[in-house]
Amino acid sequence: MVAAPPAEGAARLRPAERRGRAPGGRRPGGARRSALPRGGGGGGGARLGAVGPEEAGLPQGAGRGLSGRVAARRRSDGGPGREGAAPWGGEAGSGAEGLGVAGAVSGRSEPACGPQEGTAGAGAGLAGPWSLGCGPGEAEAGPTSRLGALRRPTFASPRFPRQGWEEPAGTAPGRETMPYLGSEDVVKELKKALCNPHVQADRLRYRNVIQRVIRMPKLDQWGQAEVLNFLLRYQPRSEEELFDILNLLDSFLKSSSPGVVMGATKLFLILAKKFPHVQTDVLVQVKGPLLAACSSESRELCFAALCHVRQILHSLPGHFSSHYKKFFCSYSEPHYIKLQKVEVLCELVNDENVQQVLEELRGYCTDVSADFAQAAIFAIGGIARTYTDQCVQILTELLGLRQEHITTVVVQTFRDLVWLCPQCTEAVCQALPGCEENIQDSEGKQALIWLLGVHGERIPNAPYVLEDFVENVKSETFPAVKMELLTALLRLFLCRPAECQDMLGRLLHYCIEEEKDMAVRDRGLFYYRLLLAGIDEVKRILCSPKSDPSLGLLEDQAERPVNSWASDFNTLVPVYGKARWAAISKYQGAEHRGPELPNTASFASSGPLIPEEHKETVQEPDSGALMLVPNCQLTAEYFEKTWFSLKVAHQQVFPWKGAVHPDTLQMALQVVNIQTIAMSRAGAHPWKAYLSAQDDTGCLFLTELLLEPENSEMQISVKQNEPRTETLNGFISVLETVLGTIGDIKS
């Protein structure tokens, strides 16, 4: 079929093919010996015949030949185990170039096989493990209708069976025939090739090098990890190519080496940054290996895996919920693993497992190690924000133990809880009496005094407990406790003046006359003068309304998008923890990770590899003059600050029916590069969300969505840090489109 001489690459591969392994036991006969599609291998075979002739006239460059050759081989790798999945994922015929050549090559080397394969594969499904997941119509719409991807209609997962052994690496004869190249030499050679500007400039050559990198089967695990790390630098030029790469790399996700699996996961997450459903699917697939690593014999590996589990849980809460038992601690484990496990347990709790998890955590609270016991109590406090009643009950029981290290932490937990979940105040107030005997440390005392001051009117003996503290104030060593005592007593004085007046006077006298700590003295003087101004003034200042509790949303930073940490996956960042890493990199100063190529540090310096002319194919056409920058990450604090410093630039009401599905909305917004800073849980009343986006000129758009279900409308308030009407209108129209689409999907 093809007149052109065999390409260099193909020629190189062929002898190797001949000295391939002895025929496998179950192969029917010598006629199908070469690396050709075997039965079942599917749809590709069917198309070979059809597309081949049309493409036959194409000039066949060296690279093309190789790609075709390898495409044929890869198809043969599929084998029966693949459930008829052709590795090429794109349904649209745009992959025809590669396919055509593949058909040509295979046709030439074994014409008799063509028709047979065609009939065999005709009915086979086209979808590979990774595919775009939209019908042909949507496929051509591609990036412009970016929301299309959200509909997840056909992104089927006719995935390989979960058992790794169905499709073992290296069993297919095709792979065996690759010439053996020492792993590190290959990597070096390819690195050289990829860094070569001539290769970069030539699209085909570049692509072929990438394909060769991917198809190196004889690499050991170190080589594979290196290659995966290296491929992070490559940005596919089209979606077909992207899914092509994903399909080729799919086997790495099943490797027995955790390093390779995690490397592949990271690559998948980064490549598929515009396809949240693919990312989710990858994370589902990596669940098994991660859980295996979490229960690995090597403590260190276990720790690293736990850190990554936590990272994933930030974005996909509930991802590991059904496996919560795997995160129960055993007494022989080292401290740092137990702490991580407790954190994980705290994050994956849901309605079904909350009972079991709490029971387990309660067991830890009486652990011999005080640190661990306290961590477990704090964890229960964290869960209490959602499941208040059960947790408060457990915490109250713990107070019965009358042990210092437990009581102090429980009281601190109560303090935080009362602030965040005011509905549990009553229960906490009932549990408090008697605690003061078992608290010796500063933190615990502060918490107790604060609780007594703020909710003193509900605790009958509050003035007497505080009186004890006032009596002993001279021997009190912590200034912070004295400050807290001053404030608390003043507050209690406002609601129970008769019982407190005398000791407030004594305390103020002591603080002003005898106290040596300046801060405490000044605070005492301040309150004294405040009292001189009259009791109404004191009330106005001390009991003025507290901050808006709904802003607490900003605190828990729910559900960060996968893309926000994908570049940190499989690095030291999750292992250190985000906060510590920030401190470290600030210390190191130099490290700058660009937003577009979020790779490891080694690559950051080498800059983007993609030649300029391909850049515009990567970027997407955008609506009007507005161009929102991806990966604009604001911290919640910065957002809050900016939000309060700006005026509302635009406000409008959008009709809305029913509840919101936060994850759908978040995903949709992310597709158009609007980041979610915080969002209420599904079904909350009123439902709120805070969004941020940045355009290419650096202008920030901060948005609040407020849904009040009874009005069946969504109120949108947008703030902008540079007043420019045209970009604002552009932004609002983008936002409206997203909300409109989401609303349509739901109704």
Partner 1 sequence: MISQFFILSSKGDPLIYKDFRGDSGGRDVAELFYRKLTGLPGDESPVVMHHDDRHFIHIRHSGLYLVATTSENISPFSLLELLSRLATLLGDYCGSLSEGTISRNVALVYELLDEVLDYGYVQTTSMEMLRNFIQTEAVVSKPFSLFDLSSVGLFGAETQQSKVAPSTAASRPVLASRSDQSQKNEVFLDVVERLSVLIASNGSLLKVDVQGEIRLKSFLPSGSGEKSQGGAWDRQLLSAVYGGIWQPFLTFFPLTEMRIGLTEEFCVGKSELRGYGPGIRVDEVSFHSSVLLEEFESHRILRLQPPQGELTVMRYQLSDDLPSPLPFRLFPSVQWDRGSGRLQVYLKLRCDLPPKSQALNVRLHLPLPRGVVSLSQELSGPEQKAELGEGALRWDLPRVQGGSQLSGLFQMDVPGLPGPPGQGHSTTAPLGLGPASLSFELPRHTCSGLQVRFLRLAFRPCGSTSPHKWVRHLSHSDAYVIRI
x-or-dash string of contact with partner 1, 338-377, rule CB under 8 A: -xx---------------x------x--xxx--x---x--
Contacts of 111 (CB under 8 A, 6+ apart): none
Task: Pick the stretch among 116-124, 208-216, 322-330, 528-536 that binds partner 1 (CB under 8 A).
Answer: 322-330
For residue 681, CA distances in Å to 608, 660, 666 come to 39, 9, 12
Q: Which of 630, 636, 632, 629 is nearest to 559 (CA)?
A: 636
For residue 298, CA distances in Å to 27, 292, 333, 334, 683 come to 41, 11, 11, 11, 42
Smallest gap, in angstroms, from Cβ of residue 662 to partner 1? 32
Positive or negative: CA dihedral 400, 401, 407, 410: negative
Query: According to the binding rule CB under 8 A, does residue 335 interact with partner 1?
Result: yes
Smallest gap, in angstroms, from Cβ of residue 506 to partner 1? 34
Smallest gap, in angstroms, from Cβ of residue 226 to partner 1? 8
Query: According to the binding rule CB under 8 A, does residue 600 interact with partner 1?
Result: yes
Query: According to the binding rule CB under 8 A, does residue 24 interact with partner 1?
Result: yes
- Number of residues binding to partner 1, judged by CB under 8 A: 79
Contact, 632 vs 673, CB < 8 A? yes
x-or-dash string of contact with partner 1, 455-494, rule CB under 8 A: ----------------------------------------
By CB under 8 A, name the one of 39, 288, 433, 608 that touches partner 1: 288
The strand pair at 675-679 and 648-655 is best described as unpaired
Which run of H or of E encompasses 358? helix 354-365
Query: If you count them, how many residues does the chain have?
Result: 747
657 three-state secondary structure: coil
130 or 364, CB closer to partner 1?
364
Query: According to the binding rule CB under 8 A, does residue 165 interact with partner 1?
Result: yes
Smallest gap, in angstroms, from Cβ of residue 256 to partner 1? 5
* Most distant CA pair in the chain, distance: 107
Query: According to the binding rule CB under 8 A, does residue 68 interact with partner 1?
Result: no
Backbone angles phi, psi at 110, to 5 degrees: -155, 80
305 three-state secondary structure: helix
Smallest gap, in angstroms, from Cβ of residue 298 to partner 1? 6
Contact, 685 vs 746, CB < 8 A? no
Smallest gap, in angstroms, from Cβ of residue 35 to partner 1? 17
Q: Look up tokens 């078992």; give the residue.
A: 438
Contact, 383 vs 391, CB < 8 A? yes
By CB under 8 A, name the one of 39, 164, 317, 433 that touches partner 1: 164
Q: Which of 239, 305, 249 is nearest to 273 (CA)?
A: 239
By CB under 8 A, name the one of 54, 140, 336, 430 that touches partner 1: 336
By CB under 8 A, name the one of 297, 513, 612, 613 that touches partner 1: 297
Q: Can you say whether residue 471 is alpha, beta or left, with left for phi > 0 and alpha for psi between -120 and 50 degrees?
A: alpha
d(CA 553, CA 312): 20
Task: Pick the stretch among 39-47, 198-206, 269-277, 288-296 that binds partner 1 (CB under 8 A).
Answer: 288-296
713 three-state secondary structure: strand
Q: Which residues, numbered 132-161, are part of the site for partner 1 (CB under 8 A)? A: 161
By CB under 8 A, name the one of 299, 540, 578, 641 that touches partner 1: 299
Q: Which residues, numbered 255-284, are part of the site for partner 1 (CB under 8 A)? A: 255-259, 261-263
By CB under 8 A, name the one of 8, 397, 468, 471 that touches partner 1: 397
Smallest gap, in angstroms, from Cβ of residue 156 to partner 1? 19
The amino acid present at 692, given as its one-letter code, is: S
By CB under 8 A, name the one of 5, 115, 122, 331 that touches partner 1: 331
Backbone angles phi, psi at 322, to 5 degrees: -75, -10
Q: Which residues, numbered 518-547, are part of the site for partner 1 (CB under 8 A)? A: none
- Outline where DSSP puts E strands in 437-575: none
571 or 631, CB closer to partner 1?
571
119 or 295, CB closer to partner 1?
295
339 or 485, CB closer to partner 1?
339
406 or 449, CB closer to partner 1?
406
Smallest gap, in angstroms, from Cβ of residue 427 to partner 1? 18
Smallest gap, in angstroms, from Cβ of residue 98 to partner 1? 27
Q: Which residues, numbered 181-240, are part of the site for partner 1 (CB under 8 A)? A: 183-184, 220-222, 225, 229
161 or 740, CB closer to partner 1?
161
Smallest gap, in angstroms, from Cβ of residue 78 to partner 1? 16
CB atoms within 10 A of CB 168: 12
Q: Which residues, numbered 88-127, are part of the site for partner 1 (CB under 8 A)? A: none
Query: According to the binding rule CB under 8 A, does residue 162 interact with partner 1?
Result: yes
Backbone angles phi, psi at 306, to 5 degrees: -60, -40
Backbone angles phi, psi at 724, to 5 degrees: -140, 115
x-or-dash string of contact with partner 1, 558-597, rule CB under 8 A: ------------xxxx-xx---x---x---x--x------
For residue 201, CA distances in Å to 7, 212, 240, 392, 491 come to 20, 17, 20, 65, 73
d(CA 205, CA 192): 13
26 or 529, CB closer to partner 1?
26
Task: Pick the stretch among 19-27, 344-352, 521-529, 558-566 that binds partner 1 (CB under 8 A).
Answer: 19-27
Query: According to the binding rule CB under 8 A, does residue 402 interact with partner 1?
Result: yes
Task: Pick the stretch among 110-118, 122-130, 392-400, 628-636 that binds partner 1 (CB under 8 A).
Answer: 392-400
Smallest gap, in angstroms, from Cβ of residue 736 to partner 1? 40
Contacts of 721 (CB under 8 A, 6+ apart): 642, 646, 699, 700, 702
332 or 747, CB closer to partner 1?
332
Smallest gap, in angstroms, from Cβ of residue 96 to partner 1? 34
Query: According to the binding rule CB under 8 A, does residue 326 interact with partner 1?
Result: yes
Contacts of 246 (CB under 8 A, 6+ apart): 89, 129, 130, 268, 271, 272, 278
Smallest gap, in angstroms, from Cβ of residue 617 to partner 1? 30
User: In this structure, what is the dihedral angle of CA atoms 83, 86, 89, 95, given to the nearest 10 degrees?
Assistant: -170
By CB under 8 A, name the one of 354, 512, 601, 636 that touches partner 1: 601
Query: According to the binding rule CB under 8 A, does residue 169 interact with partner 1?
Result: yes
257 or 321, CB closer to partner 1?
257
d(CA 172, CA 174): 5
464 or 581, CB closer to partner 1?
581
DSSP string, 60-98: --HHHHHHHHHHHHHHHHHTGGGTT--S----SGGGHHH
102 or 267, CB closer to partner 1?
267
Q: Which of 50, 173, 67, 60 is nearest to 107 (CA)?
A: 50
d(CA 265, CA 530): 61
Query: According to the binding rule CB under 8 A, does residue 168 interact with partner 1?
Result: yes
CA-based R_g, the chain, Å: 32
CB atoms within 10 A of CB 545: 5
